Amino acid sequence: MSAWKRQARADKPTVPPPVTNNIPKTAEDLNLRSQSAFPSLAASVEKISISDNGSEKSTARSFSLRPSVRPVLRSAVPETHNLNPIVRPDNFGQVGQPIQIYTNHFKLNVDSEAKVNHYDIDIGMIGRDKKLRLARKDERWETLQRLAKRENFPVIWYDEGKNIYTKANLAHFTKPLQITFKMNNEDKTFQLTINNLVRQEKMRDIFDFIQKKITTRPHDPMRIIETLFKQRSRNDMVCVKNQFYDKSQRLDDLGDGRGMANGFYQALCLTQCGPTLNINLTFTCFYMPLNFVEFASKYLRKDIRDGMKDYEIDGLKKIVKNLLVETNHTGRDIRYRIRGFGLSPAKIKFTRNTGENTNGDQVEVGEEVSVADFFAEKYHRLKYPNLPCIDGMSGGNKKANWLPMEMCKVVEWERCLKPLDSVQRALVTKKSVIKPVDRYARIMQIVDKRSFATDPYLKELDIKVETGEMLKVNARILPPPEVKYRQDAVERVQFGKWTIRKQFFTTKDIKTWAICYFAPDRPNEGVIGVLKEFQVRLPQLLGRYGIRLLSNPVQKSNPANPQGIKEVLIEAQRNRWELTIVVLNNTKEEVYDYVKQLGNQRLGVITQCVSFQALERNCGKLDMYVQNLSQKINAKLGCINGVVNLKSALSRPQNDDLFMFMGADLTHTTSSTDRPSIAAVVGSRDATGSLYAARKSSLMYITLTQNGYNFSNRSGLCEQFPKAGRCSVEIIKELDTIATELLHVFQQQSGGRLPTKIVFYRDGVDDGAFQKVLDNEVKQLKAACKTVFGAKAQPKICFIVVKKRHNTRFFVYDGRETKNVEAGTVIDSMITHPSQFDFYLNSHAAIMGTSRPALYHVLHDEIGFTSDEIQQLTYYLCHTDARCSKAVSIPAPVHYAHLAAKQSRSFDYEDNRDPSEEFVENTEEISMEDIRTKLMVLDPKIQNDMWFV
């Protein structure tokens, strides 16, 4: 743990390595298959000697040979179906300028009468010890391809797991099939068993869903078609779910043993105009196929050949845990999952296996030998005997395999999910930001290279892809709102942005403030000159917008370490500085995190961080830079920048309507399933733009104020994690409590009035979790309203899921070039859901690259919005973000929730967890009762401020 985190928070309990799932040790472990029409594996392996512990035969049991290197996360949220997503209320929206645009979808023609048989299979490898084990993914694929050719199979397609599909009947393949071939420099024997026919799928279900004859999405027929499209790409591409990466490409080195690959995404969509194939460019990170010593040196950015310090080993372990490495010093390629690190080869000793016991098992007898001596004697002397050994896990063998680092190589095309640092993110962004004209051209090149017309697999279902051009769809450009500033000054939005020519709607005077400089080194003359220019110009430029700095600033310069920062911020607290400008020069992200944690949680100091590099670049043109800075400062001070009349988006606004807007985000880490999720909820507090009183509670208040609405995150930031084990939690468990507090705050700030209508935007929902979120979170909102409103008329609720992570893109061709669609472009027909209420909205103007529209899915609506009303209301809310004078990509409430969740990752939470509880792999069912929450508490002096903008 770094000095920053040691200073900021107490050490958390260490997370032990997951308990490995049991995998079949013998062929007999696979014998029993319920209701299978085929004979068991026993017939083909009857000569294999089976022993479990060296003395007794193992009991036959049912087992599925599924890949299980990493435990599958189970959901703690029960499957329910209490509410149905609403259908579209009308024949699409009408407001706006009609246009036609292109989208990266291609129409599919599929034989609607085709029927496909789905078979359950097992593929295992018979090892040297005659025991059957789980075959690896590449081994399973190669086994099936070779057996299909040898046995003259009909056309089959394989999902690389437990399933194969074919139009033919495979009932005559009643016995397990074995085949031996050379793989990884070794002759290996594999076995295929076709267990049973699972079901027969009908392609007609796809068209019945599109034609609204059935309401349940036909996931199995869709999976069959997507698997069919993957088959021809499998041999020369790396497939990661629906992403494909050419194996022949060279990774773009990110400098720490990881590299970026470019590929494409491909998925089947069921839309109003029929089935389509969505194709987009995609980028992801893989580990570089390096010798492990070189890899570790790159990651740690130092030459480790002379040894490693303990903290370096601990840091490396977090990154490489479960990473796949291979050795070939034995003449065979053997793969291991990294479990951790041990002592150096010279210090680790083991007893040679030199004999057998009465049961025929090898036992440890004889002399002790070190790993270093063993390799020197049997292979060659190690070059780096001072480096720690890798603890490698092979298959289901839990016994440690001590591997010298230099004998290991990172397996090629191992995907990396660990987070990148800021420099790497900038590099990835630079390489992945692609102009619309280039994206369009590259997608069309991919489509052409795929040669769908000659794909023999697609002919099985008579699939034809219309590849002449991208699908052309109807769209509309919505009119933007007006933004009001002080003295009724109105700014008009053009191309997604506007100019602030008047003072902010509300502001306050600052009596005491400071500029604090933190850097590894003392400031030189050049730095001092930039800081002086900034100090002189800042009060003048802030004054333009109505923020008056009534005194000269306190000036501080300290080292960028925990003690130096803490010393300055404690002084800020003691002397009650109303605003602290923090200038950071050449510092790491953890410095910023520490400033925010200390200021927001510990001391209650309003801080505005500024990059010295940004100041230096903008030194002669501070006007625009300070305008952006001033909007954040004004919001943090509890004031309002500009106001948008949101009711003007409605066709029939009512004077007594009192709207409350809420936004929620549930963020999950991508780097580890052990880490908890962070839930954040914000809500508007009134429609007047008035200031707010601070509230103190064991739960958290966060008050957000902007554009005529006051957003509050009352008890709205918490971590969620299971009491034991690991699981997925798709819903916000404490939403009813959070919503209750938000409603109380709204009531207090609105003269005792409560909202008549609540519009709730929910981010962070995967496609498969829509029903769970609908059933649970709408119910929780209603429960909160019942608690607060009592016998009064209940508010009407509209619940909308916001989806940013999708692969649909739009393009406009003006006769000369392909460009981005304009801000305000809405698409609600042709490629949207066949019956439910959804739409795409590109609310912002992309500065660079191809704009990504947000997809909105209205799951529940008691208000009765028309398509035009909800589309315009959503678009208007995208103009109410406090951080800038331009439309953002999603509505402000849900953007605020995302910012709050993101920034709070480094904060401390109330520890409601039993100290005796640890993350362990739990094989029992986990329910919502097992999910624990930890609530974040801010300093009372700052908990009502927009600390995260």
- Residue range 192-209, pLDDT digits in tens: 999 999 999 999 999 999
Run of H or E residues at 78: none
**Comparison of pLDDT for 575 and 913, the residue scoring more:** 575
| Residue whose C-alpha is closest to residue 512's, from 463, 576, 453 | 576
Tens digits of per-residue pLDDT, 720-733? 555 444 556 678 88
- Predicted confidence (pLDDT) at residue 4 exceeds the cutoff of 80: no
The packing angle between helices 589-597 and 562-574, to 10°, is: 30
What 3-state DSSP class applies to 802?
strand
pLDDT attached to residue 365: 59
Give the model's confidence band at 267: pLDDT under 50 very low, under 70 low, under 90 confident, else very high: very high
Token pair 């092979």 is found at 394
Domain with CATH 2.170.260.10 in the chain: 292-410
Q: How far apart are CA 220 and CA 551, in angstroms?
A: 68
The CA distance from 112 to 155, in Å, is 19
Nearest CA among 194, 126, 102 for reference residue 447: 102
- CA dist 404 and 348 (Å) reads 11
Angle (CA) 736 888 847, round 5°: 150
Extract the tokens encoding 768. Answer: 């498969």
| Structure token digits, residue 900 | 């709050």
Lookup: tokens for 786: 């019942």
- Average confidence (pLDDT) over 449-473: 96
Residue 27's pLDDT is what?
A: 36
The DSSP output letter for 20 is P
- For 262-287, b/e burial (b = at least 16 CB within 10 A) is bbbbbbbbbbbebbbbbbbbbbbbbb
Strands (E), 328-438: 334-341, 349-356, 362-370, 389-394, 397-404, 409-410
Distance between CA atoms of 412 and 324, rounded to whole angstroms?
9
Give the C-alpha separation, 273 to 250, whole Å. Answer: 39
427 — pLDDT class (breaks 50, 70, 90)? confident
Fold of 643-652+661-913: Nucleotidyltransferase; domain 5 (3.30.420)
Prediction pTM value: 0.86
Distances, alpha carbon 758 to alpha carbons 12, 284, 293, 799, in Å: 39, 39, 57, 8
Q: Does residue 687 register a pLDDT over 80?
A: no
Fill in the DSSP letter of residue 301.
T
- Is 594:564 a contact under the CB 8 Å cutoff? no
Question: Does position 368 have pLDDT exceeding 60, yes or no?
Answer: yes
Q: What angle do CA 137, 122, 175 make, to 5 degrees?
A: 135
Query: If pLDDT is split at 50, 70 and 90, which confidence band does 661 have?
Result: very high
CA angle (788, 793, 796) in 5-degree steps: 90
Task: List strand residue ranges (DSSP E) for 12-131, in order.
Answer: 74-75, 97-103, 105-109, 115-126
Provide, rounded to the nearest whole percent, the portion of the chain with pLDDT above 70: 80
Token pair, residue 459, equals 């002919």
C-alpha torsion sign, points 612, 613, 619, 621: negative
Question: Which residues of the chain does CATH 3.40.50.2300 include?
Answer: 509-537+546-613
pLDDT of 624 strictly over 70? yes
Classify burial at 576, counting beta carbons within 10 Å of its beta carbon; exposed 0-12, middle 13-18, buried 19 or more: exposed
Residues in a beta bridge with 324: 337
**Whole-number Å distance between alpha carbons of 496 and 310:** 52
Q: Where in the chain is the domain with CATH 3.30.420.10?
A: 643-652+661-913
Helices 622-636, 525-544: crossing angle, 10 deg rounding: 70
- Contacts of residues 152-161 at CB distance under 8 Å and 24 or more positions apart, as own/partner, are 155/456, 155/457, 155/460, 157/224, 157/227, 157/228, 157/230, 157/231, 157/457, 157/460, 158/227, 158/231, 159/223, 159/227, 160/234, 160/239, 161/66, 161/67
Task: Supply the DSSP string of 859-919, one letter for each residue.
Answer: EEESS---HHHHHHHHHHHTT--TT-SB--SS-HHHHHHHHHHHHGGGS-B---S-TT---
Burial of 486 (0-12, 13-18, 19+ CB in 10 A): middle
Are 559 and 594 contacting, i.e. CB atoms less than 8 angstroms apart?
Answer: no
Q: Above 90 in pLDDT, residue 949? A: no
Instruction: Return d(Cα 508, Cα 545) in angstroms, integer.
Output: 11
Q: How confident is the model at residue 902 (pLDDT cuts 50, 70, 90)?
A: confident
Of the ranges 64-78, 519-533, 585-599, 645-659, which one carries the lowest mean pLDDT score?
64-78
Q: Alpha-carbon Rg of the chain, whole angstroms?
A: 31
Q: Of 69, 75, 71, 65, which Cα lies nearest the Cα of 30? A: 65
In the predicted structure, residue 420 carries a pLDDT above the cut 50? yes
Residue 81, judged by CB atoms within 10 A of its CB (0-12, 13-18, 19+), counts as exposed
The predicted pLDDT at position 130 comes to 87
Amino acid at 553: P
Please tell me the distance from the alpha carbon of residue 309 to that of residue 293, in angstroms, as a whole number: 14
Domain 509-537+546-613: give its CATH superfamily. Answer: Response regulator (3.40.50.2300)
Strand 324-327, strand 274-287: pairing: unpaired
Given phi > 0 = left and psi -120 to 50 = alpha, else beta, which region is 816? alpha
What is the H or E stretch that residue 453 is in? none
More confident residue, 71 or 735: 735
Quote the pLDDT of residue 717.
Answer: 61
Q: How much is the mean pLDDT over the chain?
A: 83
Contact partners, residue 155, CB within 8 Å, separation at least 6:
166, 167, 168, 456, 457, 460
Whether the per-residue pLDDT at 916 is higher than 80: the answer is: no
Q: State in words which class domain 292-410 has.
A: mainly beta
pLDDT digits (tens, 9 = 90+) for 490-508: 999 999 999 998 999 999 9
- The residue-averaged pLDDT of 444-466 equals 96
Which pairs count as long-range contacts for 242-248, CB under 8 Å and 24+ apart, including other chains?
242/266, 242/267, 243/282, 243/284, 245/284, 245/286, 245/413, 247/413
Instruction: Report the b/e string of 802-839 with b at 16+ CB within 10 A.
Output: bbeebbbbbbbbeeeebbbbbbbbbbbbbbbbbbbbbb
Q: Sorting pLDDT into bands at 50, 70 and 90, what band is 474? A: very high
Q: Sheet of 482-484: strands edge to edge? A: 490-492, 482-484, 643-644
Q: β-strand 837-842 against 703-706: which pairing, if any?
A: unpaired
3-class SS at 597? helix
pLDDT at 789 > cutoff 60: yes
From the list 254, 265, 617, the residue with the least C-alpha distance to 430 is: 254
Task: With beta carbons less than 8 A apart as the criterion, state whether 931 and 718 touch.
Answer: no
